[in-house]
Amino acid sequence: MQHVFEDLFGSAVRIGALWAVAPELVLCAALATMLVVRMLTPRWRHSPFYVAAAGLAAALALVVCWGLPAGSNQIFTGMLVQDGLAWFLRGLVLLGTLVVVSLTALSRTPTEEGYLEFYFLLVGAALGMCLMVSANHLVMVMIGLEMASICSYVLAGILRRQRQAMEAALKYAVFGAATAGIMLYGMSLLAACLGSVHLPTMARGLADRLSGLPHTEGAAAYQSVLLLGGVMFLVGLGFKLSLFPLHFWAPDVLHGAPAEVGGFLSVVSKTAALGLLARLALVLSGSAGLAQTPALGHVVQALEPARQTLAGLLALLAAVTCTFGNLAAYGQTNMKRLMAYSTIAHAGYMIMPVAALLASAGRDTAAAQNALAALLFYAAAYLWMNLGVFGFTALVRDRCGREEIETYRAFGRQSPGVTVLMAIQLFSLVGLPPMAGFMAKFTVFASLWQCGLGALLLVAVLNTVLSLFYYLRVIRVMTAVGEEGKHSEPGHPAMLSRSERFTGESTTGGLSGEKGVEGPGMAPPSASPPGAEAESAPQAAQPELPLLSWAGLWLLVVCVPVVVLGIWWNGLFALAQAAAAASW
C-alpha cells in the first residue's frame, strides 16, 4: 500500500500524512456517499441529512480522538500544517457545521427542492474550511477558500423561489469573486517578490528582504509592491471576515439567506477565515514552520516591522469594524439583519487578539500565545451563542414565517422557558457574566492589556457598552407585557419617555430610513415585507415555542455550553492555551 502511494505521490508523501487528513477524507467520503445513497434510495427523502450528520460527526470524532498534536508539523511537502490552531479550529468548524445540520432537522429549511444540494454544499463548504485552517501554502489557501466560498454562494441562495435569497446569493457571489480576484492578484505579487508560495518560506524571504532592503537598489519600490500585495491579500480575508470596509455584503446576504445559512456563514465561515488570518500571524511570528531555519531568532527579529505594520492595520480595522457593527445595529427591525451587524461587530472583537499576537510575538511569546488562546476561546464561545440566536430565529420563522423583532413581542408569556434561553444567549453576546461571552471577551481584553494595546482595549470596552442596547432591546420586546403596546409598561414617566425614544421611535425610524434607500437595489421581499409586517399584522398567530419540544430542547442544548463555559471556563481556556502552545 505504501509502495503504491510512494509511486503515485513520491516519497515525500507518507501514509501517515494521509491519516492526518482523515477527517477531510471522511467528509469527502460523506459527499460521495450522499450522492450514491440518494441515487440508490430516492424514496428515503432525508438520507442526505443523515449522511451529512454522520460524516460530520465521524470527522469530528476523529479530530477529537486524535487529540491535540504535540507541535507544529508540516505535511504533504508543506502544503498543510498540523498544529494546535488547525486542530482546534477544525474541531470548531466541524462542530459548528454539525450544529447547523442538527438545526435544519427541526427548522425544516432546506425544503423539498434543493434538499440534497443543501447538505452537499454544507459539507463541501466545511471541507474547504477545514483545509483553510490548516493551509500552509498559497495554493492550499486559495483552494480551501474557493471551495468554501463557492459552496457558500449557492447556500445563500438555496431557497430559489425567494427573490431575497437569490439576490443575497448573487451579491455574495459578485463580491466574493471580485475580492477573490484581488486576493489572487495580491498573492501573485507576494509570490513574485518573495520567490515562494510556501508560507514559511515566504516569511523567511520577507525577513531577508526586510533586513537587506535598506542596502539594495529600488528598496522603496520593493516595499510598495510588498505592501500592495499584502493589503490585497488581506482584502480577501477581510471580505470573508466582513471587516470594514469589506462588510457591505454581510447585512444583505445574512438578511436574505435563510437563518440556518446565516448562522453557518457567520460562525463557521468566519471561524475558518479567522484561522487563516491567525495562520498568517503565526507564520510572521516564527511558528514551527520556520523551525528548520538556521537563524530563527534573526528571522523573527527581522519580521518585527512587518508584524507591527500588520498589527496596527488589524487594530485599526478591528476598532472601526467593531464600532461600525455595533452602531449600525441600532434600530434594526429584522432579527437576521440585527445579527448580521452583530456578526460584523464580533468579527472586530475576534481580530483583536490577532493584533495582540502580532504586537507581542517578537517580545513576549507567552503573551502572544495567550492572545491566540483568547482567540480560540472566543471562537468556541461565539459558536454557541450565535448559533443559538440564529437557530431561534430559524425556529420561530418555521412556525410563523416572520423574522421581525416585533414578532417576538410578549414572547415571554407564551414560551417563558425559551425566552429565558434567548435572554441568556443575548446576554452572552453582550458579554455579561456569568455567560461564556463574558469570559470570551474578558480573555480577549486581558490579552489586549497584556500586549500593550490599551487604546484598542478602550475601544473594545466602549463597544461592549454600545452593544448592550440593541441586544437588550430584543429581550425587552420578548419580555414586554401588553398586546401591541409600546407604552404599556408602567414606570417612571422619565424612564418611559426615554425608553420610548429607544424603541418606538427607532423601530419605525430605522425601518423607513433603511428601507427607503434600500429600495432600488433590493426589492422588499415578497414573502415577508418588513414594513407592512410591523404595522398591519395583528400578531394573530403568536409563535409558540415551548421548552419541552424538540425545538425548545435544541435551544436548551445550545444554551447549556454558554452557561457552562461561562462558569467553568478554565477547562476550555486551558485547552485553548495548550492548542496555542502547540502552534508555535
Partner 1 sequence: MFGIESLLVVTVVMPLAAAVLTALFGPRLLRSQSHWPTIVALAISLAASLLLVWQVAQEAEATHTARQNEPVPSAQPTSHSLGYERTLTLWTWTGGGEVGQTALSVQPVQDPLGPPPRIEVTLRIDPLTAIMLATVLTISFLVAVYSVGYMHGDPGYWRFYSYIALFVFSMCMLVSVSNFLLLYVFWEAVGLCSYLLIGFWYQRPAAAAAGKKAFLVNRVGDFGFALGVFLLWLTYGTLNFHDVQTGGQTQPGILGQTFLQQPEQYVGGAVGTAIALLLMAGACGKSAQWPLHVWLPDAMEGPTPVSALIHAATMVTAGVYLTARCLPLFLAAPIGPLVVACIGGGTALLAALIALTQTDLKRILAYSTISQLGYMFLAVGTGTALGVTAGMFHLFTHAFFKALLFLAAGSVMHAMGGVIDIRQFGGLRRHLPWTHTTMLFGCLALAGVVPFAGFWSKDAILLAVGQQEGLVYQVLGWAATATAFLTAFYTFRAFFRTFYGPERIPEETGGHVHEGPPWMTAPLVVLAAASLVVGAYFEWTHGFAHFLAQTPSLCLAGLALEGPRAELVSHSQVALLSTLVVLAGIGLAALLYLGSRTVLEGLTRASAAVGLYGLSYGKFFFDELYQAVVVMPLTGLARLCGWLDNQAIDRAVDDVGAAPRALGALFRSLQVGLVPFYALAMILGVLVLLGALMTG
| Chain positions contacting partner 1, by CB under 8 A | 171, 174-175, 178-179, 182, 224, 227-228, 231-232, 235, 244-246, 248-249, 251-252, 309, 313, 324, 326-332, 466, 469, 494, 498, 501-502, 506, 509-510, 513-514, 517-522
For 110, phi then psi, to 5°, come to -65, 110
**Residue 83 or 514 having the CB closest to partner 1:** 514
Peptide bond connecting 490 to the previous residue in cis, omega within 30 degrees of 0: no
Comparison of 423 and 511: residue with beta carbon closer to partner 1: 511
CB of 256 to partner 1, least distance (A): 10
Q: Cα–Cα distance between 570 and 456 in angstroms, integer?
A: 25
Closest CA to 240 of 138, 339, 351: 351
- Tell the smallest beta-carbon distance from residue 168 to partner 1 (Å): 11
Instruction: Find the shortest distance in angstroms from Cβ 235 to partner 1.
Output: 6
Smallest distance, Å, CB 212 to partner 1? 21
DSSP 226-275: HHHHHHHHHHHHHHHHT-TTS-THHHHHHHHS-HHHHHIIIIIIHHHHHH
Q: What phi, psi does 70 have (nearest 5°)?
A: -70, -35
Pick the closer one to partner 1 by CB: 232 or 578: 232
- Least distance (Å) from partner 1 to the CB of residue 251? 6
Closer Cβ to partner 1, 13 or 522, answer by number: 522
Judged by beta carbon, residue 359 or residue 395, the one nearer partner 1 is 359
In whole angstroms, the minimum distance from the beta carbon of 502 to partner 1 comes to 7
Measure the CA dihedral 156/95/66/140, to 10°. Answer: 20
Q: Please, which residues have CB within 8 angstroms of residue 524's CB and are 6 or more apart in sequence?
A: 515, 530, 531
Residue appearing with cell numbers 454558554: 562
Q: What size, in residues, is the chain?
A: 584
Closest CA to 123 of 149, 157, 161, 151: 151
Cβ neighbours of residue 150 under 8 Å, at least 6 residues apart?
A: none
Give the C-alpha separation, 53 to 72, whole Å.
Answer: 30
Q: Which is nearer to partner 1, 224 or 570 (by Cβ)? A: 224
Q: Which is nearer to partner 1, 22 or 466 (CB)?
A: 466
Q: Least distance (Å) from partner 1 to the CB of residue 457?
A: 19
Identify which of residues 61 and 178 has a Cβ nearer to partner 1 in the complex: 178
CB–CB of 282/581 below 8 Å? no
Is it true that the peptide bond before 434 is cis, omega within 30 degrees of 0? yes
Give backbone dihedrals phi and psi of 361, rounded to 5 degrees, phi first.
Answer: -60, -40
Q: Give the dihedral sign, CA 388/392/395/398.
A: negative
* For partner 1, the closer CB: 285 or 463: 463
Element (DSSP H or E) covering residue 74: strand 73-75
By beta-carbon proximity to partner 1, the closer residue of 90 and 473 is 473
Q: How far is CA 106 from the centre of its chain?
A: 22
Question: Which residue lies nearer to partner 1 by CB, 172 or 573?
Answer: 172
| Closest approach of partner 1 to the CB of residue 76, in Å | 33
CA distance 318 to 357: 14
Q: Which residue number, 379 or 430, has a Cβ lying nearer to partner 1? A: 430
Task: Report in angstroms how near the CB of residue 341 gets to partner 1 at its nearest.
Answer: 9
Tell me the residue type at 1. M
3-state secondary structure 511-541: HHHHHHHHCCCCCCCCCCCHHHHHHHCCCCC
For residues 573 and 234, give the distance between their C-alpha atoms in angstroms, rounded to a whole number: 28
State in angstroms the smallest separation of the CB of 407 from partner 1. 21
Report the nearest approach of partner 1 to the CB of residue 43 (Å). Answer: 42
Q: CA dist 61 to 94, 137, 387, 572, 578, Å?
A: 10, 26, 21, 18, 19
CB of 515 to partner 1, least distance (A): 10
CB of 237 to partner 1, least distance (A): 12
Cα–Cα distance for residue pair 287/279, rounded to 1 Å: 9
Closer by beta carbon to partner 1, 58 or else 327: 327
CB neighbour burial string for 142-153, b if at least 16 within 10 angstroms, e if fewer: bbbbbbbbbbbb
